[in-house]
Chains A and B, each alone.
Chain A
């Protein structure tokens, strides 16, 4: 059994003053670590079941087409083929909304996304699926399915899709235009507006007004593990699903709706998950595997190829954004106006809502107006991607802020500090900020060695940008059983993408005054742990950590009662402190001592925690980047990167740094490289990791994470969310650095070599 001291011995410093906690702020080795460095950890595609069949999905080769007929007879006749399913094998859940934790979905649209019904709406749209004795036979069989299409003109650009006369995706989608239904069906599903103050009056006070337009490309979450699902539909109607998902309860709900079973008949066993970033919340394959299993009576595993992932799963939207910003002679923002149009993909529901809420979120904008448009295009239905919607918006706004600073000759960090959102400031969409740490992240940058080291050399530039993400609370559950050897078995409901089970276990350990290694955390399935919302919204360490804290308090109370019994004193005479129970006249049992007694007599000690905390602290980040631009090749080299972020309290600083570093690098990829290329037929032409190029380690320097801790008063340990906001500032910070390096303002993402060369040539003409 390890001790708290041993945990502390392996701990690094998190750089934040005297230690308030014994476990929190240390860096123990994660509980699932050994399995993951030895290849033993079981991911979705590693499930092996007796009699298991392989499933393969047939996908539309066309971006937009009517489906006239689907003939599966030749596929069924192929030896080794066991079943074929189409949309006809799903249950129609009707036209209803279903909340998935990081955005709601319309269940009819979800049903049509699992298998196209009357129309294929994007290249890669699933049409049918085959289960066969092995994957090669299943693949061969999909080629024998005869689908007759009537081709329709596609539209894959958000601006083109908004024009009158654009190819129409849905006959039954009308614009909800500021609450009024449009007369005609439209690709624009929604137009909404946020407003405060009087923008005409605000702009009248401005000494400097900058107005710019921006385009950003469609990008993908790019998790390394493709989607997968294994299902067994038992003869008694029980459906078991093994899958790598961000939310097992969300999968349970979606599968139940899509196959027409009560949720109690669906058990979801979450496997280890190979990345998600928001892309593994919506289901794709789980209902397909279940439907194939129902038809065959055998377990069926369905896996996606990398091309399936790019062409068939939610990317994050391309967008068109306009920003107008007014600043007075004193360098204070007086007015802001923005319009954001985001691609929803095949069905309504882009993250333009959060994008519009985020665009002015780092500033006090007394007079503001933001318009948002949710636009259907012939691309896969977009999904959440790390701070969904915020990165596009920050690219536009932070670039305009930088240009204002340039025109007024203001220091970009000082401008941000003076105009920063802080406690009491009202965001344009309404909410008033509680205590937040944006100013502290700006000041951390101002104090940083990076900012105070001059950057020299030709074609080099330094850029800064800030970013915001809401974070969220939502519901979490756990149970914790005291073992007689002085440890605790913790079962929690949040699937663990990046070490969260350790961050949760550490909060339980801190509360009980035991070592992190003396808590053994397990991610439970939907039958063995209470309801828990998705791993998303930067919520897990905050909300599931809170549930673990409550379970620990429950254990404390039960152990106090047990000790009172042992000592024959009133229960209220016993308190839990310093890692043990303490009674009158100096009586004390350490946790290990009282734990050793719990199974000898009396009730087993099981702590329960369930939480729906409301006061998640918003997350702010400010980044600094140095770049060098190759003026011949247009290639941008990142020389140095520093990311300051208010994390509330860093539970496990190494994994907090890891979230920041990983988010930054995704943002760098988004800023410099990544985009979906479409041909005139609406076909994606780069659906491989060779051509959709995410950053490699050779593209990057070390990423310096500056952890700023402004504790969230709304959490027992001051936790805010960490995971999402670090992706928000990088594209803007890079654009601002490029502007300083070569004097060109990039207004289109990605800022890839061809685009930079194009701008350089244009400037030199």
Chain B
């Protein structure tokens, strides 16, 4: 079930107390809530925070008014739970204050004037549809998504999967917008690097 397509039906089932619908919601969103929690409160407490968020969601779903999408609402809840846990534990965010040095394409790809000396190579598999059909490439991308640093994973999830605005992401993760931009660019560059390597070598 796609949340986007069937969201109204899903919400109606959730409000009616349909446990299978709630399990479906957990299946679709638990890992995403953990990713957001981990980015705020760190690895040790993330699962615990996500579990608390689920309890809050279960308790409050009957009063969900639909002013925001279901995913927006759930992500806000886990963000609040994680920030609250962070305050209780009196710990600093694992990545709240990253350096703002811009991510870079390797300097050796450019001459002294900043023009390409090693320009991007042609990709034979050049559309997302074709890339998704290539099993080995899928495997490489899945692996890259797994090993992305937690901050990059969370920002990529919120921006490119959930399509949240950058200022929302900054608020949700307690980051500056400048940091969100840097982190997002790093994640996308890492994915591009993986795909580029596969296009050149046929390997991850």
Our verdict on whether A and B bind, yes or no, reads no
Please give the residue numbers on chain A whose beta carbons come within 8 Å of chain B beta carbons, in ascending order.
Answer: none
Residues of chain B at the chain A interface (Cβ within 8 Å) = none
